[in-house]
Amino acid sequence: MVVAGIQASRETDERDRGQWVALKTRAQHEKAVRDRLHRLGFEHLLPILPRVSQWHDRKKVIEAPLFPGYCFARLSVHNRSTVVQLPGVAYIVGRAGFSEVIPDEEIDALKRLTKSGIPYESAMCLSEGDLVEIIRGPLAGVRGNLVRRERSHCVIIGVQLLQQGATVKIDAEDVRRIEEPACIIGSGSSGRRAEPQCVVAAR
Protein backbone atom coordinates (compact mmCIF):
# COMPACT_ATOMS: atom_id res chain seq x y z
CA MET A 1 0.00 0.00 0.00
CA VAL A 2 2.85 2.38 0.87
CA VAL A 3 4.63 1.66 -2.43
CA ALA A 4 1.43 2.22 -4.38
CA GLY A 5 0.88 5.50 -2.55
CA ILE A 6 4.40 6.72 -3.34
CA GLN A 7 3.98 5.78 -7.02
CA ALA A 8 0.64 7.59 -7.21
CA SER A 9 2.21 10.67 -5.58
CA ARG A 10 5.04 10.67 -8.12
CA GLU A 11 2.60 10.39 -11.02
CA THR A 12 0.55 13.28 -9.62
CA ASP A 13 3.66 15.46 -9.22
CA GLU A 14 4.71 14.68 -12.80
CA ARG A 15 1.28 15.63 -14.15
CA ASP A 16 1.31 18.89 -12.19
CA ARG A 17 4.87 19.72 -13.27
CA GLY A 18 3.98 18.96 -16.84
CA GLN A 19 5.37 16.83 -19.61
CA TRP A 20 7.07 17.74 -22.86
CA VAL A 21 4.87 17.82 -25.96
CA ALA A 22 5.30 18.99 -29.53
CA LEU A 23 3.21 21.94 -30.68
CA LYS A 24 2.47 22.03 -34.41
CA THR A 25 2.72 25.66 -35.44
CA ARG A 26 1.37 27.50 -38.40
CA ALA A 27 3.79 28.24 -41.23
CA GLN A 28 6.75 30.37 -40.09
CA HIS A 29 5.24 30.93 -36.63
CA GLU A 30 7.74 28.86 -34.64
CA LYS A 31 9.59 31.84 -33.12
CA ALA A 32 6.37 33.75 -32.43
CA VAL A 33 4.97 30.74 -30.54
CA ARG A 34 8.25 30.41 -28.62
CA ASP A 35 8.10 34.07 -27.60
CA ARG A 36 4.47 33.78 -26.46
CA LEU A 37 5.30 30.69 -24.38
CA HIS A 38 8.20 32.60 -22.82
CA ARG A 39 6.04 35.58 -21.92
CA LEU A 40 3.49 33.30 -20.27
CA GLY A 41 6.18 31.54 -18.25
CA PHE A 42 6.03 28.11 -19.91
CA GLU A 43 9.17 26.02 -20.19
CA HIS A 44 9.84 25.67 -23.89
CA LEU A 45 12.41 24.67 -26.49
CA LEU A 46 12.91 25.74 -30.07
CA PRO A 47 16.16 24.24 -31.40
CA ILE A 48 17.76 26.61 -33.91
CA LEU A 49 19.93 25.70 -36.88
CA PRO A 50 22.18 28.50 -38.17
CA ARG A 51 22.00 28.83 -41.95
CA VAL A 52 23.78 31.08 -44.42
CA SER A 53 21.41 33.15 -46.56
CA GLN A 54 22.63 34.83 -49.72
CA TRP A 55 21.43 38.42 -49.98
CA HIS A 56 21.91 40.69 -52.99
CA ASP A 57 25.35 41.96 -51.96
CA ARG A 58 26.36 39.79 -49.00
CA LYS A 59 25.79 36.63 -47.05
CA LYS A 60 23.96 36.64 -43.75
CA VAL A 61 23.64 33.97 -41.08
CA ILE A 62 20.01 33.41 -40.16
CA GLU A 63 18.43 31.23 -37.48
CA ALA A 64 16.12 28.56 -38.87
CA PRO A 65 14.13 26.10 -36.73
CA LEU A 66 15.73 22.65 -36.60
CA PHE A 67 12.19 21.23 -36.73
CA PRO A 68 10.25 23.43 -39.17
CA GLY A 69 6.65 23.77 -38.03
CA TYR A 70 7.22 22.59 -34.46
CA CYS A 71 7.96 24.06 -31.04
CA PHE A 72 8.26 22.12 -27.79
CA ALA A 73 6.73 22.99 -24.43
CA ARG A 74 6.38 21.41 -21.00
CA LEU A 75 2.65 21.46 -20.25
CA SER A 76 0.36 20.03 -17.62
CA VAL A 77 -3.07 18.62 -18.39
CA HIS A 78 -4.55 21.80 -16.91
CA ASN A 79 -2.95 24.32 -19.27
CA ARG A 80 -2.87 22.52 -22.62
CA SER A 81 -6.20 23.93 -23.73
CA THR A 82 -4.89 27.44 -23.01
CA VAL A 83 -1.68 26.97 -24.96
CA VAL A 84 -3.37 25.42 -27.98
CA GLN A 85 -5.41 28.61 -28.38
CA LEU A 86 -2.35 30.83 -28.62
CA PRO A 87 -1.95 32.61 -31.97
CA GLY A 88 0.28 30.55 -34.24
CA VAL A 89 -0.43 27.19 -32.56
CA ALA A 90 -2.29 24.70 -34.74
CA TYR A 91 -2.49 21.66 -32.45
CA ILE A 92 -0.64 19.39 -30.02
CA VAL A 93 0.93 16.41 -31.77
CA GLY A 94 -0.47 13.04 -30.78
CA ARG A 95 -2.40 9.95 -31.81
CA ALA A 96 -5.82 8.44 -31.24
CA GLY A 97 -7.08 11.58 -29.53
CA PHE A 98 -4.26 11.78 -26.97
CA SER A 99 -1.18 14.00 -26.94
CA GLU A 100 2.13 12.16 -27.23
CA VAL A 101 4.64 12.77 -24.43
CA ILE A 102 8.26 13.37 -25.46
CA PRO A 103 10.80 11.76 -23.08
CA ASP A 104 12.83 14.20 -21.00
CA GLU A 105 16.00 12.48 -22.26
CA GLU A 106 15.29 13.54 -25.86
CA ILE A 107 14.65 17.16 -24.89
CA ASP A 108 17.73 17.24 -22.63
CA ALA A 109 19.88 15.85 -25.47
CA LEU A 110 18.66 18.59 -27.83
CA LYS A 111 19.31 21.26 -25.20
CA ARG A 112 22.86 20.04 -24.70
CA LEU A 113 23.47 19.83 -28.44
CA THR A 114 22.28 23.38 -29.12
CA LYS A 115 24.37 24.75 -26.23
CA SER A 116 27.50 22.72 -26.98
CA GLY A 117 28.81 24.92 -29.76
CA ILE A 118 29.38 21.82 -31.91
CA PRO A 119 28.21 22.24 -35.55
CA TYR A 120 25.21 20.08 -36.48
CA GLU A 121 22.86 19.53 -39.42
CA SER A 122 19.24 18.44 -39.69
CA ALA A 123 18.31 14.76 -40.07
CA MET A 124 15.01 13.42 -41.40
CA CYS A 125 15.37 9.80 -40.27
CA LEU A 126 16.24 8.43 -36.84
CA SER A 127 15.91 4.68 -37.45
CA GLU A 128 19.19 3.96 -39.27
CA GLY A 129 22.45 2.92 -37.64
CA ASP A 130 23.44 1.33 -34.33
CA LEU A 131 22.20 2.84 -31.10
CA VAL A 132 25.19 4.34 -29.28
CA GLU A 133 26.04 6.53 -26.30
CA ILE A 134 28.58 9.33 -26.49
CA ILE A 135 31.19 8.76 -23.79
CA ARG A 136 33.46 11.82 -24.13
CA GLY A 137 33.17 15.54 -24.69
CA PRO A 138 30.35 18.04 -24.05
CA LEU A 139 27.72 15.53 -25.21
CA ALA A 140 28.86 12.66 -22.96
CA GLY A 141 25.86 10.56 -21.94
CA VAL A 142 23.73 11.55 -24.94
CA ARG A 143 22.34 8.65 -26.98
CA GLY A 144 21.66 8.47 -30.69
CA ASN A 145 22.15 6.41 -33.84
CA LEU A 146 25.64 6.09 -35.34
CA VAL A 147 25.82 6.56 -39.11
CA ARG A 148 28.52 7.26 -41.66
CA ARG A 149 28.41 10.52 -43.60
CA GLU A 150 31.01 11.53 -46.19
CA ARG A 151 33.94 9.56 -44.75
CA SER A 152 33.16 10.55 -41.16
CA HIS A 153 30.95 9.21 -38.38
CA CYS A 154 27.89 11.07 -37.12
CA VAL A 155 25.45 10.55 -34.31
CA ILE A 156 21.79 11.29 -35.02
CA ILE A 157 20.06 12.98 -32.08
CA GLY A 158 16.38 13.81 -32.25
CA VAL A 159 12.74 13.28 -31.38
CA GLN A 160 11.29 9.87 -32.19
CA LEU A 161 7.75 11.25 -32.29
CA LEU A 162 8.63 13.48 -35.23
CA GLN A 163 11.26 11.14 -36.71
CA GLN A 164 13.48 14.18 -37.17
CA GLY A 165 16.60 15.41 -35.49
CA ALA A 166 20.16 16.56 -35.98
CA THR A 167 23.43 14.93 -36.99
CA VAL A 168 26.68 15.82 -35.25
CA LYS A 169 30.11 14.59 -36.35
CA ILE A 170 31.80 12.40 -33.79
CA ASP A 171 34.97 10.33 -33.46
CA ALA A 172 34.06 6.66 -33.54
CA GLU A 173 36.22 6.15 -30.45
CA ASP A 174 34.04 8.57 -28.48
CA VAL A 175 30.95 6.36 -28.57
CA ARG A 176 29.99 2.96 -27.26
CA ARG A 177 27.39 0.68 -28.74
CA ILE A 178 24.24 0.04 -26.71
CA GLU A 179 22.96 -3.52 -26.89
CA GLU A 180 19.27 -2.71 -27.29
CA PRO A 181 17.14 -1.98 -30.34
CA ALA A 182 16.52 1.64 -31.30
CA CYS A 183 12.92 2.76 -31.01
CA ILE A 184 11.21 3.02 -34.40
CA ILE A 185 7.82 4.59 -34.71
CA GLY A 186 5.64 2.75 -37.16
CA SER A 187 2.89 0.26 -37.77
CA GLY A 188 3.77 -3.24 -36.60
CA SER A 189 7.34 -4.15 -37.48
CA SER A 190 7.51 -2.19 -40.72
CA GLY A 191 9.26 0.78 -39.12
CA ARG A 192 7.45 3.21 -41.38
CA ARG A 193 7.25 6.83 -40.41
CA ALA A 194 4.09 7.57 -38.41
CA GLU A 195 2.42 10.82 -39.35
CA PRO A 196 1.57 13.15 -36.43
CA GLN A 197 -2.11 13.72 -35.83
CA CYS A 198 -4.07 16.64 -34.43
CA VAL A 199 -5.08 16.28 -30.79
CA VAL A 200 -6.59 19.65 -29.89
CA ALA A 201 -7.48 22.04 -32.67
CA ALA A 202 -6.95 25.76 -32.14
CA ARG A 203 -9.94 28.02 -32.43
Superfamily designation of domain 2-198: NusG, N-terminal domain (3.30.70.940)
Domain ranges of the chain: 2-198
How do strand 70-75 and strand 44-45 relate by DSSP bridges? antiparallel
Quick one: DSSP state of residue 195? P
Distance CA 130, CA 110 (A): 19
Q: For 39-81, how does the pLDDT look when each residue is reduced to its tens digit (9 = 90+)?
A: 999 999 999 998 877 777 778 878 899 999 999 999 999 999 9
Report field, pTM of the whole predicted structure over 0.85: no
Q: For 125-183, how does the pLDDT look when each residue is reduced to its tens digit (9 = 90+)?
A: 887 889 999 999 999 999 999 998 878 999 999 999 999 999 999 999 999 999 765 44
Distance CA 156, CA 49 (A): 15
Whether residue 12 is predicted with pLDDT greater than 90 in this model: the reply is: no
Q: For 75-107, how does the pLDDT look when each residue is reduced to its tens digit (9 = 90+)?
A: 999 999 999 999 999 999 998 778 999 999 999
Alpha-carbon torsion, ordered 109, 110, 112, 113, to 10 deg: 110
- By percentage, how much of the chain surpasses pLDDT 90? 65
Distance CA 156, CA 2 (A): 42
